[in-house]
Amino acid sequence: MVSKVFSLKMNNFLYITLIIISVSFFEKKLQAVNYHKSYFGSILSGQIANYNNDSSLSAEFFNYAHTINPKNKEVYNLSLMSLVISGNIETAISTIKKYEIQFGKKPDDSVISNFLIFINEINNNNFKKALEHLNNSKSFLITDKMVPILKGWLSPTLEQGVSALDKYEYKSKGLALSNIYFHHLGLIQYYHTKKNLSKKTFEEHLEIFDLEKLRTLYFYFNLFSKNNLDDKYISSFLEKYPNHSFSIYLKRNNEKIFKKLITPKQGISEALYNLAQTLYSQNMYETSLALAQTALFLDQENDLVKYLISMNLNSLNKKKLAIDYMKSIPLNSYINWNAIINIAEFYIDLEQYNFASEYLHKLEKSYPQKTEVLYKLGELYHIQRDYKNAIKYFSAAISTIRVIEKKHWYLYYSRGMAYERSNKWQLAEKDFLYSIELSPEQPLTLNYLGYSWIDSGKNIDEAKKLISKAVKLRPNDGYFVDSLGWAYYRMGEYEKAVMELEKAVSLVPNDPIINDHLGDAMWRAGYKNEAVFQWNRALIYKPEDELKEKIKFKLKKGL
């Protein structure tokens, strides 16, 4: 339902985003002009940069190609799109102005250029012109579903603004996207100096609270309840979510002065953020990133937009750039806690463990009893095979929990893995069993305990049951299927083992352990030539030294 709503008219933008330009070298127009080879090279390089999610580089190449041949509309649109995604909104607007000077204004020429003209008017506080442009544009980047929100902000009077908002399709309470309507209604009322009415709208909307309304609670706190933790809605949040990062923000002495002057520019930025967040949740990262960059252009102090940009960049595997955006979020921002945790995670993904450790230990000093920080430190040490410290921090994280609930299964699972790697099996087994007791349908724990029993030749039948349950819960997980195949191997059912392990290898082709397991099963099933092939294949994928020596021995002696 949501996907269909916000995918409308996004196809135009995705077309611009994903289009592959075919340039004909035999086109008569191009033959008549002496184009440098760098023109075609820039187009090709821009395509490659787009494929690699390098929007800054693609913008550079497409913009260069556009300056050589400004008549090529596809290159023009790709240039604009790449500039927007990379955050170079000013350059994109400048490019449009140059294009209009050279070729004249053409209404509805391009969804991206129309959108940027609109954004430029907003940025210059020309709200009347922005509204006229919005009304006159037949093709516009923003889906029709969000246009009433934009018009609500641009309307000169509150009555006209509310009238525009009423055309928003999902304003009925209870609908998934109704939060956007009530959020902006309260803000628009505040902008038109109807503060009591605005406060009432916020309070009615917050009466039934869920975390989807956190942004609304943020505005409510800063506009109407600053430093009043006894407020009904603030105290209710603190009671229900005592360990939430927003609770930390509420409790501390926040010196940042919130700008209580709400403007249409800020409102439009907020609306673009809302849409970008929705698209991010649908894995439409490039489109979400473009809208988020535009939202940030209009409101540089919107830290949540910086956070969303970073998360999009991370999803596009641009972790270093994602870290830069996270670092730009100030310490006194309510999203800063999440930003620091993500910075550490991104550094872990980059295998830059020293930087990750630096950020996490800073948090530990400030919040020594914070479960999430202690757990992340445990993860960090576990990845580096420092299991002693991993156990220390996992145990510390567990000690912060007052009431153990189902959701805490992962703490015992993680510590169990660290115990198992430290050859402390009894402690590991105890943690795994308790983790399963907390969450019986959690496939990770089911598989890990089952595989550990199988590998040690213990509780084979029960282990097979656990693993079979894990595979049923997650049938396309090659590691779980490998565990099931290895269970059959340990039970002496070699043909079944081969069948399952072949599935596992097809799901995870480059894992040395799974390939080694398949080689063992094939050897026992009588397929010795195939077994030798699998063992050799396992060596290609760089197994750890201990496994590597075992495979070399099997290649010489067999099983």
User: Where exactly does CATH 1.25.40.10 map onto the chain?
Assistant: 178-336, 351-430, 441-559
Q: What's the topology of domain 441-559?
A: 1.25.40
Architecture of 10-124 per CATH?
A: Alpha Horseshoe (1.25)
CATH number belonging to the domain at 178-336, selected among 3.40.50.12780, 1.10.357.10, 1.25.40.10, 3.40.50.300: 1.25.40.10
Give pLDDT, residue 25.
Answer: 33
As a whole number of angstroms, the distance between CA 297 and CA 218 comes to: 21
Give pLDDT, residue 175.
Answer: 63
CATH number of 351-430: 1.25.40.10
367, 368, 373, 378 alpha-carbon torsion, rounded to 10°: 170
Give the closest residue to 318 by CA, choosing from 56, 535, 38.
Answer: 56
As a whole number of angstroms, the distance between CA 441 and CA 421 comes to: 24
Which residues lie below 8 Å from residue 467, measured CB to CB, with a gap of 6+?
446, 447, 450, 451, 454, 480, 483, 484, 487
400, 405, 410, 414 alpha-carbon torsion, rounded to 10°: 50
Give pLDDT, residue 136.
Answer: 85
Can you give the pTM of this predicted structure?
Answer: 0.80
Q: Are 58 and 290 in contact (CB under 8 A)?
A: no
Report the residue count for the chain. 559
Tens digits of pLDDT across the chain (559 residues): 333 334 434 444 444 444 433 333 333 333 334 444 465 565 566 556 555 656 666 666 666 666 766 666 777 777 788 888 889 899 889 888 887 777 776 645 678 888 999 999 999 999 999 999 888 877 766 777 889 999 999 999 999 999 999 998 887 766 667 889 999 999 999 999 999 999 999 999 999 999 999 999 999 998 988 778 889 999 999 999 988 889 888 887 555 556 667 899 999 999 999 999 999 999 999 889 999 999 999 999 899 999 999 999 999 999 999 999 999 999 888 898 899 999 999 999 999 999 999 999 988 988 888 899 999 999 999 999 999 999 999 999 999 998 999 999 999 999 999 999 999 999 999 999 999 999 999 999 999 999 999 888 889 899 999 999 999 999 999 999 999 999 999 999 999 999 999 999 999 999 999 999 999 999 999 999 999 999 999 999 999 999 999 999 999 999 9
Give the closest residue to 299 by CA, choosing from 322, 276, 331, 316.
Answer: 276
Rg (CA), the chain: 29
